[in-house]
Amino acid sequence: MTLTSRERSLTSLVQGVGLDYLRRLLPPPWLALALLAATSTWMALSTHDMIALSACAIAFGGLLMHWPQRTRRAWPLWRTAALGLAAAMEAVPGWAHEDVLRTLLVVIAAASTLHTLARLVAAVRLSLRLQRSARAMDDASLLAMLPEEAREDARRWRDGDDSKSAELQLVINLAALWAALSAVNADKARQRPAAM
C-alpha cells in the first residue's frame, strides 16, 4: 500500500542518525573479538594475571579510542610504552614481581579504562543530541540540503514512487547527520563564549 503525498514526510526517512554516528566510531565486531581472543590467550598463557589483564585493558581501550582516527596511523605513545612494559614484565621474570612496575601498570590500565569510558559516554551523549537534532528537522529543510537529483527523487517519493526508497533514505540520513553535526557544533560555539 502506498501513501499519498499528504501522508508521506521525508522526516519519516530520518532513522538512526545518532546510532549510525555511534556505530562509525566503534571498531567492527570482528576486530574487537580478535583483540579479545588475543588478550584472552595472553591471559591464559601468562603466569601473571594482573599484567595480562592490564595489557588487555590498555589494548582494548586503545582500539576503542583510536579507531575513529585510524587513517592517521598514530597509536599514542603512552599506550605503546605501557604495552611494551607489560610485555617486558612477562619476558623478564624479575620485573613481574617489582611492586613499583606492577602498580604503575595497573594505574595506567585504570587510567586507560576511565579515559575510554569517559569518551564513550561523551560519544553516546553526542549521538543522542544528533538524533534529537535530526528528528527536529522538517521536510523543507531536508529538501533544501539535497542535491537537485536527490531533490527530484524525494519529490517523486512523496508522490508515491518507491523505486529509489533505499538510496533516498541513505541520502536523507547523511544530510540529516551533516545538519545535526552543524547544529551541535553551532551550539557548542555559542556556549563557549558564555563559559569564558
Asked if the model's pLDDT at residue 2 lies above 50, the reply is no
Q: What's the confidence (pLDDT) of residue 109?
A: 93
Asked if the model's pLDDT at residue 195 lies above 80, the reply is no
Residue pLDDT, tens place only, 122-154: 999 988 988 888 888 888 888 888 888 888 888
Contact 126, 184 (CB under 8 A): yes
Residue pLDDT, tens place only, 3-47: 444 558 888 888 888 888 888 888 888 988 998 888 888 888 888
Q: What is the mean pLDDT of the chain?
A: 84
Amino acid at residue number 11:
T
Asked if the model's pLDDT at residue 113 lies above 90, the reply is yes
Contact 172, 9 (CB under 8 A): no
Q: What's the confidence (pLDDT) of residue 6?
A: 52
